[in-house]
Structure 1
Amino acid sequence: MGDVRPQPAGNPIATGASVEGEKDENKFLLAGQAKPSDAGSVSLAPMEEVRKSNWKYKSKKQQARTVAALLGKLLVLITALYFFICSLGILSDAFQLVGGREAGDALGESSLFVNPLAGLMIGVIATVLLQSSSTTTSIIVALTASGVIQKVEYSIPIVMGANIGTSVTNTIVSIGQIGDREQFKRAFAGATVHDMFNFLSVLVLLPVEAVSHYLFYLTEAIVNTMSLTEEADNQEFLSVLTDPFIELFVQLNRSAIIENARGNHTEEIHLLKQHCGILQEGNCTVNETVAEGCVENIVQKCDYAFFNSSLSERAIGVIMLLIALFMLITALLVMVKALRSVLGVQLEGVVKKAANGNLPGKARYLTPYLAILIGAGVTMLVQSSSVFTSTLTPLVGIGILDLERMLPLTVGSNIGTTFTGILAALALKGEAEDRRHGFQVAFAHLFFNISGLLVWYPIPAMRNVVLGCARFMGETTAKYRWFAILYLILAFLLIPGLVFGLSLGGWQVMVGVLAPVFFVFFLVWLLNMLQKHRRSYLPVRLQTWDFLPLWLTSLQPYDAVISKVLGALRRRKKSYTAAHDDEGTEDHPIP
């Protein structure tokens, strides 16, 4: 029913004349004037608000203040964005200091890669430790070209794992919006849409590749048509802007991880740079006896905060990790507030409509594919899918970017990040055959992401599977916010580590453990589908999950336990603080 309100006695119900009267009154109010016929009865408050918000009614001084305030907010927004991107770079460096040597060791164990699942899990873990799929892929390209990884077929599952591992960064970024439940739900869904797309792509394409080797044969055919005579340098556009700030803290020797993977574990190879260039070339060699008149290289000392520090590389990495997380969360909060302040309520709606709108007419069906091209292009420019998707995640959180538009941008970013691997292959030196193997790995990464796009995006039903999984993750973490931390630990550390450990025992052990697990998951999925769409086909007992204990079907019991533990810790902290304050009062009584 409609909204029926009682009318005052003697008044007609909404005649055409009364509607015209309301329009006439609104016209005067919008102009900031009182209606002549009832000037004494019109409240001045609405007119004053209209005058304040209307540009033409502001004085020159007020207009100058408005412009200055807007420019100030934009400056704050750009500054926060810069430090946000820098924090991602520091985070990557910190993870490399903490686990870079272990990642190099893992990537150098080529005998383990005979098992595709082992290669996949090493790719996930190495990328989580290095915080960059571009870095992982570049290392794999170099190791394959140098023969440390003996076959190209062994490298392909590793780059698939790198695709999964890189999505951990924007998932960490989404936790910065955990304070607002609704924002966190959207942000976590926007972050995990990347995870879900990569997980599902690997779930389909890894078995296909293991059986058919289609990526190997496709890339081999492409590389055989290439003339590998030119070499190129790998230049990064974004690093020109961010490196001056990041290098105030640490400067890394990027080749150290590759040397570690090659089995070179000498103490002279450091992850932190020991010198930053040669000021003057010497004429002495390592094996030559230093004779009179022999001049050694004069090196330029590095100038960063932790240069010549007495702390270990791992300890410096932990400190940098804490600095990076603090910077990331602070910059994220400032960025979100500044963006809201700059846009305002009305302009935010306009920007949201533009960001999520479609091309006109029949071209609207091409809009998502244009978004894919934009995602790929921007990622090629910044050479980091983590930076691009992590910057979009807060926009999804505050509601400016829809999840449906985030997905094609993420898919495009996956394709764009493969450009770094191709550049790494271009920069390779050595025999043409070795460089050809490096190119094969780089192209395998590219065509794996294109294959994932073709499987999961063009058909709406397949696309909705990815979106549905991401929404489920967002809703779950909004209800149980601790689940976000649990998901990060399980998805990117414990499960890859467990599967990798099982793979070391051989196919028999791995199949014996994982086959029953996959069978149980399949039964649960099948039963859920039947309960949702064909409930009448099931026995009464199986039509719901009520026959199982609550702890098997809901996170509520775990949430109750975690809430009790956190509540006890808060009460203990409060009582400790109160007791400490009382002691201070006794020591220094108030006169």
Structure 2
Amino acid sequence: SRRNSLGLILKKSTAVILFKVVLFIVVLYAFLFSIQLMGSAFKLLGKGFAETLIQTTSNPFVGLLIGILVTSIIQSSSTTTSIAVASVAGGILTLRGAIPIIMGANIGTTITNTIVAIGHITRKQEFERAFAAATVHDFFNILAVLVFFPLEMTTHFLEKSAVFLAGLLDGMGGIKFLSPLKAITTPLITLVEDLLPIPAVLIGLSLAILFFSLVQMVKIMRSLMMSKIEVYIDRFLFKNDLTAFLLAMTVTAVIQSSSVTTSLVIPLVGAGLLTIRKIFPFMLGANIGTTVTAILASFATLNPVAITVAFTHLLFNMSGIIVFYPLRRIPIFLAESLAKITSKSKRNTILFVVLYFALYLVPLIFIL
């Protein structure tokens, strides 16, 4: 009978774990849906504005600021890059004018992570970990821009390398690729957009779903921490830097959204399942994965100039990794220090979060 009761307990615990995993998948879908819906709503709100802005740039510094602003508004670096690609292909923007916009897009896309980190605001320690994890991506992208923006403006090494690479691939056929993430979320997003065609309402709804799903995800993950899930994440998915890098690169290339990929690990760090050190190479992998979208889009256009713009994005991200992966202590230290100060008190938290989002609006002053 003792063996029977032990068997029952094991069956029960397996059933509970299975139920929690299924529940987690449902909540994860809600989380992914909310991010896609938010991006879609921002695009409805700002697509025309984004196109107008991108096409009015002539000064490289203004171009960089436009890239940051547009991407933080429409919440998608691949959309910004694609608009830049289309503008170059259409002769509205020069290749040289598009490069700073692409650099800025890298910084603008990390805002989603911070929105996700705010979901942990009620728990001090959790918020500190999540905020550090969210901003380490910002710091990496900002440092990469600080190094390579002046270098590109003086030497044009990215432009020259991209022109050379595009020349090698001249004459390749068009490639089309459908994101499975879009395939599972688009029908529902289309339905919601038809029912509520007001972008502001859609943004509010997406934020409500985002925060609700986040709270539930963290709850489920905390209870699963007692099970084997933690060991699996730690031992397999984030076994070493290379597996984390390749995982993020593959996931981002497949779902075609770096903000979704990177924001997935923020709750894992918040819940204490992963460390900022472990997710750093994951963030870098997402940076490379996101360039695949633009490369595929450019192959589909069969325009050599468009292919060159896409390669510029890839080369810029690769250059950033070559320099800052060995120096990873710098962005990690900056992110952890900022998170420590931010989470010290409620006042600090509110002040820093407001300042953080205000910083993304600074480009407006220079542009308008």
TM-score bracket, shorter-length normalisation:
over 0.9
1:398 aligns with 2:271: yes
For the 8 Å contact 2:63–2:97, the answer to whether it is kept is: yes
User: How does 1:554-573 map onto structure 2 within 5 Å?
Assistant: none
Of 124, 128, 131, the match for 1:185: 128
For the 8 Å contact 1:234–1:427, the answer to whether it is kept is: no
Q: In the superposition, relative to structure 1, how do residues 106 and 488 fare at CA in structure 2: closer, same or farther (>3 Å)? A: same
Shift of 1:477: 1.6
Shift of 1:332: 0.5
In structure 1, the residue corresponding to 2:333 is in which secondary structure? Answer: helix
1:69 aligns with 2:16: yes
Q: In the superposition, relative to structure 1, how do residues 403 and 355 fare at CA in structure 2: closer, same or farther (>3 Å)? A: farther
Of 228, 244, 254, the match for 1:371: 244
Shift of 1:349: 5.8
Separation in 1, partners of 2:31, 2:136: 21
Give a deviation string over 1:396-419, Cα, whole Å, max 9, x none.
111111111111100111011000
Separation in 2, partners of 1:63, 1:204: 55
Separation in 1, partners of 2:299, 2:125: 45
For the 8 Å contact 1:356–1:405, the answer to whether it is kept is: no
Unaligned runs of 5+ in 1: 1-50, 251-303, 307-312, 359-366, 430-434, 502-591
Shift of 1:61: 4.6
User: How does 1:89-488 map onto structure 2 within 5 Å?
Assistant: 89-109=36-56, 112-113=57-58, 115-149=59-93, 151-250=94-193, 304-306=194-196, 316-344=198-226, 347=228, 350-351=231-232, 353-354=234-235, 367-428=240-301, 435-458=303-326, 462-479=327-344, 480-488=348-356
For the 8 Å contact 1:100–1:129, the answer to whether it is kept is: no
Shift of 1:248: 1.6
Separation in 2, partners of 1:170, 1:61: 42
Structure showing the higher helix proportion among its residues: 2
Give a deviation string over 1:75-105, Cα, whole Å, max 9, x none.
1111000110000000001111222221121
Choose 371-380 or 323-332, whichever is displaced more: 371-380
Separation in 2, partners of 1:347, 1:403: 21
Separation in 2, partners of 1:356, 1:223: 34
In structure 2, the residue corresponding to 1:248 is in which secondary structure? Answer: helix
Q: In the superposition, relative to structure 1, how do residues 357 and 102 fare at CA in structure 2: closer, same or farther (>3 Å)? A: closer
In structure 2, the residue corresponding to 1:58 is in which secondary structure? Answer: helix
Shift of 1:355: 6.2
Separation in 2, partners of 1:402, 1:356: 13
Give a deviation string over 1:358-406, Cα, whole Å, max 9, x none.
5xxxxxxxx3233222221121111110010000000011111111111
| Percentage of pairs with the same residue | 37
Separation in 1, partners of 2:248, 2:46: 30
Give a deviation string over 1:185-219, Cα, whole Å, max 9, x none.
00000000010000110011000000000001111
Shift of 1:455: 1.0
For the 8 Å contact 1:175–1:484, the answer to whether it is kept is: no
Q: In the superposition, relative to structure 1, how do residues 400 and 60 fare at CA in structure 2: closer, same or farther (>3 Å)? A: closer
For the 8 Å contact 2:248–2:283, the answer to whether it is kept is: yes
In structure 1, the residue corresponding to 2:272 is in which secondary structure? Answer: coil
Shift of 1:348: 6.3
For the 8 Å contact 2:139–2:335, the answer to whether it is kept is: yes
Query: Letter of the aligned partner of 1:155 in structure 2?
Result: A
For the 8 Å contact 2:238–2:244, the answer to whether it is kept is: no
Separation in 2, partners of 1:187, 1:368: 20
In structure 2, the residue corresponding to 1:371 is in which secondary structure? Answer: helix
RMSD over aligned CA atoms reads: 1.9
With the length of structure 1 as denominator, give the TM-score of the two structures: 0.59
Unaligned runs of 5+ in 2: none
For the 8 Å contact 1:356–1:402, the answer to whether it is kept is: no
With the length of structure 2 as denominator, give the TM-score of the two structures: 0.94
Query: Letter of the aligned partner of 2:83 in structure 1?
Result: I
For the 8 Å contact 1:136–1:162, the answer to whether it is kept is: yes
Q: In the superposition, relative to structure 1, how do residues 473 and 237 fare at CA in structure 2: closer, same or farther (>3 Å)? A: same
Separation in 2, partners of 1:370, 1:143: 36
Shift of 1:236: 1.5
Q: In the superposition, relative to structure 1, how do residues 397 and 98 fare at CA in structure 2: closer, same or farther (>3 Å)? A: same
In structure 2, the residue corresponding to 1:227 is in which secondary structure? Answer: coil
For the 8 Å contact 1:415–1:449, the answer to whether it is kept is: yes
Higher relative contact order (CA 8 A, sep 6+): 2
Separation in 1, partners of 2:266, 2:236: 14
In structure 2, the residue corresponding to 1:482 is in which secondary structure? Answer: helix
Query: Letter of the aligned partner of 2:195 in structure 1?
Result: A
